[in-house]
Amino acid sequence: MIRIAAVGDVHVDKDVLGRYRPALEQLPDVADVLLIAGDLTRHGTVEEAKCMAQEFGDVGVPVVTVLGNHDHQSDQELQVMDVLRDAGMTVLEGEGTVLTLNGHRLGIAGAKGFGGGFAGACASSFGEREMKSFVGTTEAIADKLGAALRGLDCDALVALTHYAPVPETLVGEPLEIYPFLGSYLLGQAIDSAPTALALHGHAHHGSERGRTPGGVPVRNVAHPVIKQAYNVYQLLSENAETRLVNA
Amino acid sequence: MAQKLDEYVEAEIQRLLTENGAVAEQGITLQRREHMLILGGEVESAQRRDEICRQITTKFPDVEIACDIGIVRAAAPSEVEEIS
């Protein structure tokens, strides 16, 4: 059994310090790892990253994260990643990691992702340079995510993104902005590997549950969606024994 | 007299809430009523909610606003979901 705690869009700054700590202190009792689906900060500054490291560092379980669009706002994403890594967090961008938890190998491949939309209403790499760059950015990220997922040797495989891989978890958002919230290319990458669970954030008004066309469960763990400090998902269950009650 | 609340004002406020460094929120909803703008969504702190209202009131002093923005709860979970 592996228990995965997950949340996204925590947008930490000085004014948030201490809000998550009471719930995080319970984390080692209820989960084996914490995954954070991007938008760790408000503006992507080093100072905010230090606040994030203070709030979500030293929680008693490994912390694995990707960045979100907010974490790119100040063009300091490399420094932000350094701060988080110095605090012991694993930051993934088109790469993967394997953690041994409870005797099982949990593989996690992560990338921020990007937009472009979904079947029937997706952007195409055509016309203006800016449009081709927009679609090409998503293609490159999805290619890296797919390769990272396929390259991991593990017992359970999880995909972690900020942008959404399916439209189902966007329900509640205005239809007009779906292309800015995710891309089917991320779902296709997730379906190219034996992924057990895909986690994302970004869509504050979206829905929690969906599935990729290939059948992979998708969970939108944006904080305003889950409305608690983190959710807990259980993989490789031998039994349902846990200190939490099954949903 | 209250400023006319048309689509252009709504769009300007929506962009203000994202692009203004003191706010930087993309998840605030705006509902235009005849004489009032209703703000919805959730943010991480009371200070952020208050700053949103302050920014709108400063930039659009004639726009009457009603703030229904909540603070996202951050309690520990009581349930686990088994993925299969």
Ranges of each domain in chain A: 2-235
- The string of DSSP letters for B15-79 reads HHHHHSTTT--S--EEEE-SS-EEEE-EES-HHHHHHHHHHHHHH-TT--EEE-PEEPP-PPPSE
Model pLDDT, residue B2: 55
| Residue stretches of chain A with pLDDT short of 70 | 239-247
Chain B residues closer than 8 Å to A205 by CB: 27, 29, 41
Taking the model in full, what pTM does it have?
Answer: 0.94
- Contact with chain A for residue B26, Cβ under 8 A: yes
Homologous superfamily of B7-71 in CATH?
Cation efflux protein, cytoplasmic domain (3.30.70.1350)
State the pLDDT confidence band at B3, using cuts at 50, 70 and 90.
Answer: low
pLDDT at residue B14 greater than cutoff 70: yes
> Alpha carbon of A169 to those of A3, A172, A177, A203, A220: distances in Å?
22, 8, 13, 8, 6
B82: nearest CB among A30, A70, A234: A234
Phi, psi of B21, rounded to the nearest 5 degrees? -60, -25
pLDDT tens digits, A92-112 = 999 999 999 999 999 999 999
Ranges of each domain in chain B: 7-71
pLDDT tens digits, B17-65 = 999 888 999 999 999 998 899 999 999 999 999 999 999 999 999 999 9
pLDDT tens digits, A197-206 = 999 999 999 9
CATH classification for the domain delimited by A2-235, as one of 3.40.50.10420, 3.40.50.300, 3.60.21.10, 3.40.630.30: 3.60.21.10
Mutate to test the interface with A, among B23, B83, B84 (most CBs of A within 10 A): B83
Model pLDDT, residue A156: 97
Min CA distance, B44 vs chain A (Å)?
7
CA dihedral A165, A168, A171, A173 (to 10 degrees): 10
Number of alpha carbons in the 13 Å side-chain half-sphere of residue A81: 15
Kindly provide the ipTM of the predicted complex, given to two decimals.
Answer: 0.90
Min CA distance, A102 vs chain B (Å)?
16
